[in-house]
Amino acid sequence: MDLGTLQYASDSRKNRKRVGRGIGSGHGGTSCRGHKGARSRAGFKSKLGFEGGQTPLQRQMPKRGFNNIFKKRYQLVNLRDLEKLGKLKKIDPVVLYENRVIRKKNVPVKVLGDGEIKRGIEISAHAFTKSAIEKIEAAQGRINIL
């Protein structure tokens, strides 16, 4: 057996429906599209969520919840992530971004107290939790709030 003699198993391939090939084909005339209307025309595209004039499901469901546009959203960094950075003495959002600890440059950073820090480092961030402040200062480190 070689690649030149490969064939599909019998009855495993279905011939596609050939429409618009005359009356004798059994699919002639309207080419299985029915009579008139947008869907019978060439180039028809339905809008996403369109249900034929019926109120779409998205509009039938009630609105729920509340999105506070004034809420500050932070990128969260744990002390254990800072410990993995090695022998760096000064850590700020730029250093965190370069070391891929955070993903975005322009979103504020908050340091959380999960994990331990064993060396004294200077950390600059936009916010700190109380436990993070206590652990950093216990390790003779300093914090700077941006």
Give the bridge partners for 18, in sequence order. none
Residue 30 belongs to what domain range?
Answer: 16-53
- pTM given for the model: 0.58
94 assigned to some structural domain: yes
Same domain, 98 and 37: no
Strands (E), 36-128: 75-78, 90-91, 109-112, 122-125, 127-128
Cα–Cα distance measured from residue 108 to residue 46, given in angstroms and rounded to the nearest whole number: 42
Give the count of domains, the chain: 2
pLDDT band for 6, please (50, 70, 90 cuts). very high
Angle, vertex CA 132, rays to CA 126 and CA 134, nearest 5: 120
Which pLDDT belongs to residue 16? 87
Q: Which CATH number covers residue 119?
A: 3.100.10.10
Mean pLDDT value across residues 36-48: 90
